């Protein structure tokens, strides 16, 4: 956390206006460069194109707003040719990404607004959840539920993920599907169970999340399956 704060402070200090999305795109570019250098890039062509587009977009904005204004006319004219080549390359990439995303929205992703996530590989809102994970329709990446749940839960990285009341897998995360201000749901990346935040409460025994029991008047304490069984066994043992 301290690291994160320091990073933000530095960016503010320099007045570079680097957004979280830009920083993420740059970080990914660094990873791609290392991967290319050391063991070859394994992402699909679609993923590389989409990521390159995001980074180029950032770099062009950065050059336009931060660096070009500092150059004199002669210097600016000398890089004009390179700049326009990069701009037209970016337009080609953007056209490819837009066309592909539009096609997906009309087909594979049609009506899937409540089951689409952002992709950590290509950056597009194109992975749709499936049992035990998600499949990205833009770049073809499959991600498992165990990998997705920690990335989407509301807590700090490293916090253990909630167990699902339905299937007991530790893959119950709380987040909103789709870009923008969607409704938050508790979603299990293993069995696809969904709960609204109001449906779940903490078990009176162990504190895990569990569906409310009985009336919502606060008189009945909710106990999860494990704790209920534990109490029943204790009661049986005390009767003997
Ligand atoms: Zn993807
Ligand atoms: Zn589950
Ligand atoms: Zn419990």
Residue ranges for the chain with pLDDT beneath 70 = 1-17, 39-41, 155-158, 179-181, 214-219, 240
Measured in angstroms, how far is the CA atom of residue 164 from the centroid of ligand 1? 26
Q: What is the pLDDT of residue 48?
A: 84
Measured in angstroms, how far is the CA atom of residue 181 from the centroid of ligand 1? 21
- The protein residues having their C-beta less than 5 angstroms from ligand 2 (an ion) are 164, 166-167, 188, 190-191, 193
d(CA 131, CA 77): 55
d(CA 186, CA 124): 22
Q: What is the pLDDT of residue 153?
A: 81
Beta-carbon contacts of residue 53 (< 8 Å; ≥ 6 apart):
90, 93, 94, 97
Q: Is residue 119 part of a domain?
A: no
Tokens of 231: 């109490």
8 A C-beta contact, residue 211 and residue 223: no
Q: What is the pLDDT of residue 15?
A: 56
Q: What is the pLDDT of residue 157?
A: 66
Three-state secondary structure call for residue 188: strand
Number of domains making up the chain: 1
Computed on alpha carbons and rounded to an integer, the radius of gyration of the chain in Å comes to 24
Q: Is residue 69 part of a domain?
A: yes
Q: Is residue 151 part of a domain?
A: no
Q: Is residue 19 part of a domain?
A: yes
8 A C-beta contact, residue 127 and residue 135: yes
Structural domain containing residue 72:
2-106
Q: Is residue 228 part of a domain?
A: no
Q: Is residue 145 part of a domain?
A: no
Q: Is residue 20 part of a domain?
A: yes
Measured in angstroms, how far is the CA atom of residue 227 from the centroid of ligand 2? 18
Q: Is residue 94 part of a domain?
A: yes
């Amino acid at each position: 956390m301290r690291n994160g704060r320091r990073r933000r402070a530095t960016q503010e200090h320099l007045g570079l206006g680097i957004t979280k999305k830009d920083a993420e795109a740059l970080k990914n570019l660094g990873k791609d460069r290392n991967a290319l250098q050391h063991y070859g890039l394994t992402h699909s062509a679609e993923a590389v194109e989409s990521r390159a587009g995001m980074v180029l977009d950032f770099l062009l904005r950065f050059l336009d707003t931060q660096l070009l204004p500092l150059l004199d006319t002669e210097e600016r004219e000398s890089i004009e040719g390179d700049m326009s080549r990069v701009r037209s390359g970016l337009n080609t990439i953007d056209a490819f990404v837009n066309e592909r995303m539009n096609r997906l929205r009309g087909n594979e992703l049609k009506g899937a607004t409540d089951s689409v996530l952002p992709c950590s590989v290509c950056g597009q809102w194109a992975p749709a959840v499936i049992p035990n994970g998600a499949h990205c329709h833009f770049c073809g990446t499959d991600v498992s539920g165990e990998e997705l749940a920690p990335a989407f839960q509301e807590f700090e990285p490293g916090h253990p993920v909630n167990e699902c009341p339905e299937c007991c897998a530790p893959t119950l995360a709380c987040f909103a599907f789709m870009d923008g201000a969607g409704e938050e749901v508790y979603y299990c990346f293993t069995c696809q169970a969904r709960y609204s935040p109001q449906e779940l409460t903490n078990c009176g025994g162990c504190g895990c999340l569990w569906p409310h029991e009985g009336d919502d008047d606060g008189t009945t304490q909710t106990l999860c399956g494990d704790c209920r069984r534990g109490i029943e066994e204790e009661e049986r043992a005390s009767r003997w």
